Amino acid sequence: MTAGPAAGAGTIRLGELTVNRLAFGAMRVTGPGIRGMPKDRAAMLHLLARAFELGHTFFDTADSYGPDVSENLIAEALHPYPAELVIGTKGGFVRPNGSWAPDGRPEHLRRALEGSLKRLRLERIDLYQLHTPDPKVPFAESFGALAELQRAGKIRHLGLSSVSVRQLEQARRIAPVVSVQNRYSVDDRGSDDVLAACESAGIAFIPWYPLGAGRALSAKTVRRIAGERGATPSQVALAWLLARSPAIVPIPGTGSVAHLEENARSAQLALAPADMAALERL
């Protein structure tokens, strides 16, 4: 297993695959607004390689990041992939005029998967996640299409994103689920019930916006604890997630190597019980 600060968070299993719990979210290696190529493509390729060097052995991406840009850059930076690297991608969003529109039609998901396979230079995706339920398409039809693709050998493991407990249970009646990716952070705990369901079922819970889109970092309690621990607010927010549950796999993303290295060191920050209690009261 790759050494590095991120490895200090311990490991978790995605099916039979083992990854370090502090992962890397590759949304922000694209251009502004998660659209187009980054201003400095070479810098993003270096950042992706550095993320793996720091011990991030799970990378989260999606076809809608760019669109297509994040997946292409990951392949350019890291292919042929190290044996311990697991790449999870997602399908189910399209980006008309830069907006985010759900598209869970089976025919779209089949095309999306084929595109991800090509861009990532893979014959099978280790983890493919339904990016969001589409209110215009029955949930079982969307997830059922992914289950068919799994049976066809194009997906190793299936995951979900932005789902309720009911939708998780519905999906598990169709095919095994190894991960759920919902919005969650120290100041946004609306998915506590989904996290509890994942813990009970042995499913990885992957918080997106693990830093609350930056809001968590301005909380007085977070800043106070950071000062007392000689850490940064982002390190406290990530350390809280890692301590909150062994099922949690944070995926902080950044376009800055300095921030990447700062985030990776959060795996080595141990919060005291009093810190955890104070953060629970946010």
Active site residues: 65
Nearest-10 crossing angle of helices 106-120, 69-78:
30
Domains, the chain, with CATH or none: 5-211+247-255 (3.20.20.100)
**CB-CB contact of 263 with 50 (8 Å):** no
**Backbone φ/ψ region at 182: left (φ over 0), alpha (ψ -120 to 50), beta:** beta
Confidence category of residue 56, pLDDT binned at 50, 70, 90? very high
* pLDDT tens-digit map of 126-158: 999 999 999 999 999 999 999 999 999 999 999
CA 254 vs CA 62, 152, 222, 258, 262: distances in Å: 15, 35, 20, 9, 11
Mean pLDDT, range 70-75, rounded to an integer = 98
- The H or E element that residue 101 is part of is strand 101-102
Q: Residue 214's pLDDT is what? A: 73
Contacts of 270 (CB under 8 A, 6+ apart): 239
Query: How confident is the model over 104-123, as pLDDT tens digits?
Result: 999 999 999 999 999 999 99
